[in-house]
Amino acid sequence: MSFSLPKLPYAYDSLEPYIDSQTMKIHYNKHHQAYTDKLNTSLDGNTEYRSKTIEALLSNLNAVPEPIRLAVRNNGGVYFNHCFFWEIMAPKAGGAPPAGSAIAEAIAKEFGSFEAFREKFSNAAVNHFGSGWAWLVLDKGKLEVLSLPNQDCPLSIGKKPLLCVDVWEHAYYLKYQNRRAEYVKEFFNVINWKKAEELYQRARQ
Ligand code: MN3
């Protein structure tokens, strides 16, 4: 058993023009593949951990032997984050979550409106210093927007991920160069709210 690159749920060019085909190809085939390989390598001496789910590993890092804990946190976190990121985007998606959906109602309740949420999430992504990710998570039944540095994953701090955007430069530089704010604005055109709704329904149980 080992961790493998998940199947991309759409074609490389299907998130155009918001996420370009070349970025998708490199991000998925090169970056995510390399993270997957590193995760497996970091478990070479502890192969029993390869049969656990990545969620189980990241949710309980203290159960991972100390000598490989940091490597699992980093390589496992970045492996999971990318698996999650591909799923939370979709072609012909984006906009606001469907009216009446549980996540739409929760967003309105927590942030006041979808627009207020969009602003908060976008600010978290744009203003995050250096590499990392912005997230919408469920924490003890409450929605929260946060950003985490580098490879860190909300599962490792007890929060349930519902949405994320990768703000490492490799995620946007080919198309947007230094214009992270424009990338984040366009990201809203590819958010898979159907998936986010499924995750929210599961997370709040
Ligand atoms: Mn990335």
Has residue 156 been placed in a domain?
A: yes
In a domain, 10, yes or no: no
pLDDT value at 186 more than 80: yes
> For the segment 26-66, what is each residue's pLDDT rounded down to a tens digit?
999 999 999 999 999 999 999 889 889 999 999 999 999 99
Give the count of domains, the chain.
Answer: 2
Cβ–Cβ < 8 Å for 184, 126 = yes
Cα-to-centroid distance, 31 and ligand 1 (Å) = 7
The amino acid sitting at 149 is P
How far, in Å, CA of 42 to CA of 165, rounded?
A: 26
| 100 C-alpha to ligand 1 centroid (Å) | 32
CA of 76 to the centre of ligand 1 (A): 13
**Cα 112 to ligand 1 centroid, rounded to whole Å:** 30
CA of 99 to the centre of ligand 1 (A): 31
Evaluate if pTM is beyond 0.95: yes
User: Residues 81-132: pLDDT tens digits?
Assistant: 999 999 999 999 999 999 999 999 999 999 999 999 999 999 999 999 999 9
| Domain encompassing residue 119 | 102-203
Rounded Cα–Cα distance for residues 137 and 143 (Å): 6
